[in-house]
Structure 1
Amino acid sequence: MVSDLQPLLEVQDMKTVFKTRSGLLEAVDGVSFSISKGETVAIVGESGSGKSVSALSILRLLENNGSVTSGKILFNDFNLKDIGPDEIRKIRGNEIAMIFQDPMTCLDPVYTIGDQIMETIKIHEDLSKREYRVRALELLRLVGLPDPETRIDAFPHQLSGGQRQRVMIAIALACKPKLIIADEPTTALDVTVQAQIMQLLKDLQAQFGTAIILVTHDLGVVAEMADRVVVVYAGQVVEQSNVRELFEQPQHPYTAALMRSIPRIETNKNQRLQTIKGNVPNLKELPTGCRFHPRCLLATEKCRNEEPPLFDAGDGRLSKCWTADPTLQVKREIMTAFDEEQLDNFERNLHLVEGQPLLDVKDIKKYFPITKGILSRTIGHVRAVDGVSINIHKGETLGLVGESGCGKSTVGRLITGLIKSTAGEVIFEGTNLAHANRSKMKQIRKKIQFVFQDPYSSLNPRMTILDIIGEPLEVHQIAKGTRKQERVAELLEIVGLSRNDMHKFPHQFSGGQRQRISIARALATEPELLICDEAVSALDVSVQAQILNLLKDLQIKMGLSYLFISHDLNVVKYVSDRIAVMYLGEIVEVADAETLFENPFHPYAKALISAVPIPDPTMEPDRIILKGEIPSPSNPPSGCKFHTRCPVAMDICRNKKPELKEITDRHIVSCHLY
């Protein structure tokens, strides 16, 4: 809630330039916005648009080759652009603090979290040693970290992702700053933890009147958190608006395109997602005229030749588009143009044959030993997967959801044989993988392929795309020489890339293109089952829509089956036929996608679905906030593993483990309530 209309921070025509070997790159070109006390302003856009650079420019946290060359950054009558290093250090952490995207890389692994919180306070305040520790404990309690008296002496690696993000927020709040800049603070978090962090930021804002600049590409988070929105594209502001008006009637085609590319819970799974063609332009090769015109549905000759100014669209709204020019009489409803664009529905998947199983996983377990001492004696086990049973039919997509650490990715690796199971069976096309000989396993591995979360770390940076995609062709003796090159060219075209790309290296592609290359490599052996492990979680919404459309097209053309592992429930709902919900190594509910979202049975599934951010600022989410953290898989609770966090737990839940039973047709639940 905005409590003071007087600007706390005012950015005027800010330009940020980086010196490179090939010349100067203008990463931020004339960005202007303001924020008042108690207000939340969101900066949104695709990767490479200049969101994070704009935020870092305010605090002068740019790399050595970057600098703010012109404009003003006015804070408390100071122009932060012109003050010296000593003066800006007094402001950082004290009056303006920053929460970074990845807490693990920002927290020092050799210092306790208590030391790192106290360090921030010591820079700006002179207190006794005891007072520093008392203040650090108060901050950890304030951000809701469980057992702060013990955790204050813990190291970053001993905390979960959500706990580390809470520590980052505690550090940011250490000196009660007037402004917090949060750079993608919830992107890597589960929906349940994300809901907790968003509620925490709201509570702290209400308590201290802190202003928040929220840098994100998650429009669901924007709808829930922001008062005003600044949309940036290729280093420029293309739209500014009140959050409600922006979602109801966007004024710029780029904003409208971003909104239309999001899969929502209500999205028809047979409807193709709207995509934005092309990519954010390279800063070295910016197009003439409007920078968005090569990707715009409404582009005219004027857009190609003349760059539009930032027009006043009324009611304090701004739009950098010729459609907003009142003198040209070309004003039209931006969203209407997208409604008029013909999007084909996906064909019915003829490969999906009921009762024809492809994969059957029976009571599979994976226990990792905990060792201690010089002799590495086993003193316990981490029960990463503790009796999972799932099945996938030919042509079907099974979604696997749950919080980080529940064992989703381990299940995927057990199915492919990347790690050996402790117990249980994996049966693929009637063959038990545990009893298959080496020759049979090689044949099966051709038919089961993996698409990893981070395409850049899974692609060898020293190999060309021809060698990367061609490697499985040679390993499985499918093609060599000229035939291999022809097959790689075919695979690149199947995933929407050019055959001319095969001689390039991974670093020469965008994130979405690298994910397409990963999919092409997985398709090289003509598999029947693809395991997609968070395959779209690191992508912008526009690129995510392209990849989801591609996966659905490939499924129809090639009869593929998918195990789709993700914590983004909007995406899972859109892409899946059935969904399995996993908690602490066990399956707690399995149902058809529509059924699960309309009528979830298990309290954990209800909490997950309620935590999904809704990209509609008019809707007030009815959220179930789970208390506490996931118990340790090395020492899980007795009875139902969820009872320590369950809002409706009974005495029987604490003592007796519930069985996985079919409650209604194809709806299976493990809960004493049923």
Structure 2
Amino acid sequence: MVNHETPLLQVEKMTTVFQTRKGTVEAVNDISFSITKGETVAIVGESGSGKSVSALSILRLLENTGKVSSGKVLFNNLNLAELKDEEIRKIRGKDIAMVFQDPMSCLDPVYTIGNQIIETIKIHEDLPTKEYVERAIELLRLVGLPDPENRIHVYPHQLSGGQRQRVMIAIALACRPALIIADEPTTALDVTVQAQIMELLKDLQSKFDTSILLVTHDLGVVAEMADRVVVVYAGQVVEQSSVRELFENPQHPYTEALMRSIPRIETDRDQRLQTIKGNVPSLDEIPSGCRFHPRCQFATDKCRIEEPPFYNLGDNRLSKCWLVDPDAEIEISSPGTIKEKTDEDVYDNLDERLGEKELLLDVEELKKHFPITKGILSRTVGHVRAVDGVSFHIHQGETLGLVGESGCGKSTVGRLITGLIDSTKGQVSFAGNDLINSNRKSMKNLRKRMQFVFQDPFSSLNPRMTVLDIIGEPLEVHGLAKGLDKQEKIGELLETVGLSKNDMQKFPHQFSGGQLQRIGIARALATEPDLLICDEAVSALDVSVQAQILNLLKDLQRKMGLSYLFISHDLNVVKYISDRIAVMYMGEIVEVTDSETLFKEPLHPYSKALISAVPVPDPTVDPDRIILKGEVPSPSNPPSGCKFHTRCPMAMEVCKQKKPLMQELSSGHIVSCHLYGEG
């Protein structure tokens, strides 16, 4: 039970500043919140809102240019902001521990995980050597890492992403801290691993009565994990509430807008997602008055001029908005209220769009086995079966979602289709043309009709090139436009994706993440393709920006008749944008059907586990999770029979011996599983 009497951590009017070339800027302004023993408090908001800076400020882990300039950070009534460096070091790791987003960048690659756990214990406790090892093994067992006696000797690169995150949690628990600060602990994980980590954190919290400060932008995780929520925007807290009240009746337009931006499993895919216009303001260009007013649909002249105070709405509920003033005449609508469909908002029905459409892409038994070499002579000693007999098709104007855990071969399939890597076996037909056996010239002509939109626009766009050169490059490579014609074409492409012609002389660093993704889409559209392969194209974006990009992709599909292969591990997004979905496991497709049917009546046990693991952005729902045991087997040594049988809760003896064949159980619903007969 949560103790609401005495705060364990009390942050009072904390302001954090950074020294920049333009002078001093405030990253966090007068933030206040508290955490009691055994409580989970979530800090949510878009990137750049000050979530992580607030968490790092508590432990004084800021860069050299940053510092807490005013306010108090009281931990058991001790002001952390006033402690000397050697004093705060005694608290870090012992009383307050931190779990970071990317364990691979936090774990030392040259030390075993056992040494790294022991190092943390040694800093704060003096124990006999044997007890250090025993404590490390106990911690690994506690966080659910299999075979901890042997795993203590392995290195970080020998573990999966979920296992590395468990090691990070073990290090955080090494000295039994009273408070754990978890900064996006599940963002980079698959839904199945994410579900395991969330269950682990909840179990550990109940065992040790540990408090958790959860920093995240995933409202589904917030709904399942948090007791209370602190919503931050542009460095300020704009709303505080219990998790249930926040989701039932948000009292700030920003909170309400964030919730409307989320694609949910129950969201009608024919309905546009509601978005938040604009972006989080730069720290050196903070608006006057209410900081959210340039993006707020309810903004008044008063909002533009005067900064609103915090209104206490009772039961520890606060909102920094003029609209909750008892004298205000405007009310914020409920997040459950969906705008009525209009001709502009509603997308065409799948049957209407695809009824007479031609087959665009046909993939048959596609395989890619990467050789494993050994010795000076690089002899082949085995193969990694990255893609092992994949078949599917896409019609003109259709979106096929491709889902599965990391490492299942989704991205490799996309690269095989476009010829970026050579296939081991199989057939790929695009618009009636054989891609596998095409010569270089034919492949170049076909490749311009298939384009990639990558996950991370920051790394996929050349930082030394202007937008003009970035988008213009494919036009020149394929001889489509030059000179003034090229500039005019680029201007049209920028306007098509919602940017301005004036942006073409800018460099990538001058844009936000969402704008960069729009530039990536404009570049992909430059060759007038028929098929876009979107490889985790929205997974790195905030929910508000993600909604903008998803709406854009649907608009472009409706206007230009584009087809999409949409690769992602975010099932909410895939459900919303896809006509049909193919589920992959260890290089094979195990189920294919339309998106509505898959989420209502999944047939394969793996599909059921994936869907059950999706975080539900509703604190009143207690999801019935299917937690998969064990890790994904190595693709270089896959299990016999059905590859999923080692983790399947419904595995039978035949599953271990015989590989199931694909069979169509109903119109368009194909599955590979022994539960439905021999096939």
Q: TM-score range by the shorter chain?
A: over 0.9
Residue 222 (structure 2) pairs with residue 191 (structure 1): no
Alignment match of 1:530 (pick from 529, 532, 543): 532
| 1:353/1:394 contact within 8 Å kept | no
Indicate the residue corresponding to 1:443 in structure 2. 445
Indicate the residue corresponding to 2:329 in structure 1. 330
Indicate the residue corresponding to 1:102 in structure 2. 102
Q: How does 1:203-282 map to 2 (within 5 A)?
A: 203-282=203-282
| Aligned-partner residue type, residue 106 of structure 2 | C
Task: Tell me the matched-pair count.
Answer: 673
Deviation of 1:341 after TM superposition, in Å, equals: 8.4
| 1:113/1:154 contact within 8 Å kept | yes
| CA distance in 2 between partners of 1:162 and 1:113 (Å) | 14
Distance change (3 Å), C-alpha of 1:480 and 1:338? farther
Indicate the residue corresponding to 1:30 in structure 2. 30
Summarize deviations over 1:626-669 as a string: whole Å, max 9, x none.
Answer: 00100000100000000000001000000000001111110000
Same amino acid, percent of matched pairs: 76
Distance change (3 Å), C-alpha of 1:501 and 1:371? same
| CA distance in 2 between partners of 1:352 and 1:510 (Å) | 35
| Aligned-partner residue type, residue 334 of structure 2 | M
Indicate the residue corresponding to 1:90 in structure 2. 90
- How big is the alpha-carbon RMSD for the aligned residues of Structure 1 and Structure 2? 1.3
Q: Which moved more, 1:183-192 or 1:312-321?
A: 312-321
Indicate the residue corresponding to 1:622 in structure 2. 624
Indicate the residue corresponding to 1:352 in structure 2. 354
Summarize deviations over 1:347-390 as a string: whole Å, max 9, x none.
Answer: 31665344621001110111111111222111111111111011
Summarize deviations over 1:166-193 as a string: whole Å, max 9, x none.
Answer: 1110110010000000000000100000
SS in 1 for 2:427: strand
Indicate the residue corresponding to 1:73 in structure 2. 73
Q: How does 1:103-182 map to 2 (within 5 A)?
A: 103-182=103-182
| Aligned-partner residue type, residue 319 of structure 1 | S
Indicate the residue corresponding to 1:400 in structure 2. 402
Deviation of 1:334 after TM superposition, in Å, equals: 3.7
Deviation of 1:416 after TM superposition, in Å, equals: 0.8
Distance change (3 Å), C-alpha of 1:52 and 1:341? farther
| 1:297/1:337 contact within 8 Å kept | no
Deviation of 1:438 after TM superposition, in Å, equals: 1.8
Q: How does 1:529-608 map to 2 (within 5 A)?
A: 529-608=531-610
Residue 396 (structure 2) pairs with residue 391 (structure 1): no
SS in 2 for 1:562: strand
| CA distance in 2 between partners of 1:456 and 1:61 (Å) | 25
Summarize deviations over 1:33-68 as a string: whole Å, max 9, x none.
Answer: 000010000000000000000000000000000000
| 1:109/1:156 contact within 8 Å kept | yes
| CA distance in 1 between partners of 2:158 and 2:300 (Å) | 56
| 2:97/2:172 contact within 8 Å kept | yes
Distance change (3 Å), C-alpha of 1:552 and 1:329? closer
Deviation of 1:76 after TM superposition, in Å, equals: 1.7
| 1:453/1:538 contact within 8 Å kept | yes
| 1:4/1:38 contact within 8 Å kept | no
Distance change (3 Å), C-alpha of 1:177 and 1:100? same
| 1:27/1:50 contact within 8 Å kept | yes
SS in 2 for 1:5: coil
| CA distance in 2 between partners of 1:404 and 1:155 (Å) | 20
Distance change (3 Å), C-alpha of 1:647 and 1:339? closer
| 1:401/1:580 contact within 8 Å kept | yes
Deviation of 1:4 after TM superposition, in Å, equals: 5.0
| CA distance in 1 between partners of 2:417 and 2:437 (Å) | 14
| Aligned-partner residue type, residue 622 of structure 1 | D
Gaps spanning 5+ residues in structure 2: where?
A: none
| Aligned-partner residue type, residue 531 of structure 2 | L
Deviation of 1:111 after TM superposition, in Å, equals: 1.0
Deviation of 1:336 after TM superposition, in Å, equals: 8.0
| Aligned-partner residue type, residue 227 of structure 1 | D
Q: Which moved more, 1:340-349 or 1:227-236?
A: 340-349
Q: How does 1:272-351 map to 2 (within 5 A)?
A: 272-326=272-326, 328-330=327-329, 332-335=331-334, 344-348=344-348
| Aligned-partner residue type, residue 77 of structure 2 | D
| CA distance in 2 between partners of 1:354 and 1:142 (Å) | 57
Gaps spanning 5+ residues in structure 1: where?
A: none
| 2:262/2:273 contact within 8 Å kept | yes
Distance change (3 Å), C-alpha of 1:260 and 1:487? same
| Aligned-partner residue type, residue 535 of structure 2 | D
Deviation of 1:437 after TM superposition, in Å, equals: 1.6
| CA distance in 2 between partners of 1:386 and 1:173 (Å) | 40
| CA distance in 2 between partners of 1:335 and 1:571 (Å) | 22
| 1:353/1:395 contact within 8 Å kept | no
| CA distance in 1 between partners of 2:177 and 2:521 (Å) | 45
Alignment match of 1:647 (pick from 629, 649, 663): 649
Indicate the residue corresponding to 2:425 in structure 1. 423
SS in 2 for 1:435: coil
Distance change (3 Å), C-alpha of 1:628 and 1:566? same
| 2:322/2:328 contact within 8 Å kept | no
Indicate the residue corresponding to 2:675 in structure 1. 673
| 1:263/1:273 contact within 8 Å kept | yes
| CA distance in 1 between partners of 2:283 and 2:539 (Å) | 25
| CA distance in 2 between partners of 1:617 and 1:439 (Å) | 56
| CA distance in 2 between partners of 1:593 and 1:354 (Å) | 20
Deviation of 1:310 after TM superposition, in Å, equals: 1.0
SS in 1 for 2:417: helix
| CA distance in 1 between partners of 2:481 and 2:188 (Å) | 39
| Aligned-partner residue type, residue 117 of structure 2 | I
SS in 2 for 1:491: helix
Indicate the residue corresponding to 1:496 in structure 2. 498
SS in 2 for 1:554: helix
| Aligned-partner residue type, residue 377 of structure 1 | R
Deviation of 1:346 after TM superposition, in Å, equals: 2.8
| CA distance in 1 between partners of 2:497 and 2:138 (Å) | 52
| CA distance in 2 between partners of 1:337 and 1:117 (Å) | 46
| CA distance in 2 between partners of 1:340 and 1:16 (Å) | 39
Indicate the residue corresponding to 1:511 in structure 2. 513
